[in-house]
Each structure stands twice: as C-alpha cells, then as structure tokens.
C-alpha cells in the first residue's frame, strides 16, 4: 500500500482528499503547516507528496526546496491556484515533479498519482535494460558521467562516490534521452516518454523547466549545452558525440 502525504491547510480540501484517497486504497498522512513537514517525514518518508503552494509556516515552494536539498526523491505533486502561473513554473524549478491547478478533477489527481508511483517505483529498470541488454553490470557513459542502469545513479567517472542528485522526473528524462540518443524529439514525445501518454500537462513549458534543471547537472555550461541540444521549432536532441569528447556506450 502506497503512502500519500498531503500538505494542505484548507480543511475542506484536505478532508476530501483524505477520504477519496483512502477509498482508492492508499494510506494517507497529512500536515497543515509547511514548517512542520520536514521533521514529520524525515525518518518515515512517504511514497508521494501532494503539496499545496499556499501554506502557513513555510510555503510549498520552500518546503519542496528543503526536501530536495536533503535528497528526498519521492514524487512531489504541487497544487496551485489557476492564476498562479509564476508559482507553477517556480514549483517545477524547486524540484516538484508535476502540478495540478485548482479546482481539479479527483480522477485526474488519482491518475497522476498512479502514473508517478508506477514510474518512480515500478517502471524504471525494464525499459532501460531491454534497450541495452540484461547484464547486471551495465551502465551508460557520456562525457564525464556514468548512469548506472540498476541503481539509477548518475555519477562522475573520476569519482563514483560523487553522485549527482536527480529527481524522479530527471531520472526518467535522462533515461529517455539516453535510449533515444541523436534523435530529435518533440516536447510531446518527451512528455509521452517521461510522464506517459495518460498524463496531461497543461503547459509544454514544463518540459523546458526540467530540461533546464538537467542541463545544470550534466552540462559544463548550461547556456551552451553539449549534450541536451535545443532543436529550434521542434524540441530537443541528446547528442551522442558532442563537439569536445565523450560518447554514449555500453560498459
């Protein structure tokens, strides 16, 4: 049974979410104050968090930033009001995986929850391994990095203990690009490959935000990327052989 942690100070919304999610078979925990979230889940992390942006104590953006800063990688789905576009983008920039705009359909929420849980805990390894084989020691290398297919860790070749923290969406995005190296992909293809065809994103700029985050972690100069290249008028391409050195290969 997956545990969903709700952070919402509106008692009516919170009660409705708790009742509905428990009827869907989830275990539900909750908090109504952002400042209390970290200590409450530090030793018992949930499988997924539903996080409202507007909270007393500590706003949702700060909560998300705090959790990601402590390497908590469970999916975070943010709730935002319809007129808070800047907050939706900022939420993704702080490490949230997805967002829903209030008012939202409960069925849409459950669909997104299940999709994120599948991808975070049940659908990473098989698609990646099927594309490169089944050996237990396989990894993909590019430039100065290695992406381990079993542990889903990204680390520097010169020091395997120097791990690069990736959120669940970033893990899926990097995996998808590595499996489709040198192919120009539209934003919709990326959405289907990373979030899944059943997940509807209101704004394709969500892709751009996560691409920017990933560039900041793998590019020497994110403003002049070597790997994640923008294909103007189309989308993005992961270059297998960037101008300097490095290639994607099995090891």
Can you list the domains of the chain with their CATH numbers? 3-121 (3.40.50.2300), 131-250 (1.10.10.10)
Residues 141, 246: Cα–Cα separation, whole Å: 8
State the 10-residue block means of pLDDT for the chain, 251 residues long.
94 95 94 95 94 92 91 89 65 82 89 84 47 52 85 84 84 88 91 74 77 92 94 90 50 40
Q: State residue 137's pLDDT score.
A: 46
What percent of the chain stands above pLDDT 70?
A: 83
Q: State residue 245's pLDDT score.
A: 44
Q: State residue 82's pLDDT score.
A: 62
Q: State residue 215's pLDDT score.
A: 95
Residues 237, 14: Cα–Cα separation, whole Å: 41
Residues 77, 6: Cα–Cα separation, whole Å: 10
DSSP class per residue in 201-233: PS-THHHHHHHHHHHHHH-SSTTS-SSEEEETT
Q: State residue 5's pLDDT score.
A: 98
Q: Which run of H or of E encompasses 142?
A: strand 139-142
Q: State residue 85's pLDDT score.
A: 61
Nearest by Cα to 97 from 27, 29, 196, 28: 196
- 24: DSSP letter: T
Q: State residue 217's pLDDT score.
A: 92
Q: State residue 127's pLDDT score.
A: 40
pTM: 0.62
């Amino acid at each position: 049974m997956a545990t969903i942690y709700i952070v919402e100070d509106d008692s009516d919304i919170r009660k409705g979410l708790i009742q509905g999610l428990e009827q869907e078979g989830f275990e539900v925990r909750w908090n109504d104050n952002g400042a209390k979230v970290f200590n409450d889940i530090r030793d018992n992390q949930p499988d997924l968090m539903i996080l409202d942006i507007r909270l007393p104590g500590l706003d949702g953006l700060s909560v998300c930033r705090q959790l990601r800063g402590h390497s908590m990688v469970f999916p975070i789905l943010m709730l935002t009001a319809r007129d808070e576009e800047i907050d939706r983008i900022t939420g993704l920039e702080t490490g949230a995986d997805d967002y829903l705009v209030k008012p939202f359909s409960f069925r849409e929420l459950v669909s997104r929850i299940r999709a994120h849980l599948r991808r975070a805990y049940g659908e990473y390894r098989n698609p990646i391994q099927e594309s490169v084989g089944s050996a237990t020691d396989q990894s993909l290398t590019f430039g100065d990095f290695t992406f381990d297919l079993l542990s889903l860790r990204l680390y520097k070749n010169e020091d395997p203990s120097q791990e690069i923290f990736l959120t669940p969406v970033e893990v899926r995005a990097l995996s998808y690009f590595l499996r489709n190296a040198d192919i120009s992909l539209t934003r919709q293809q990326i959405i289907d490959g990373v979030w899944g065809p059943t997940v509807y994103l209101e704004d394709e700029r969500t892709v751009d935000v996560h691409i920017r985050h990933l560039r900041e972690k793998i590019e020497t100069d994110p403003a002049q990327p070597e790997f994640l290249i923008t294909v103007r008028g189309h989308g993005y391409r992961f270059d297998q052989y960037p101008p300097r050195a490095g290639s994607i290969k099995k090891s």
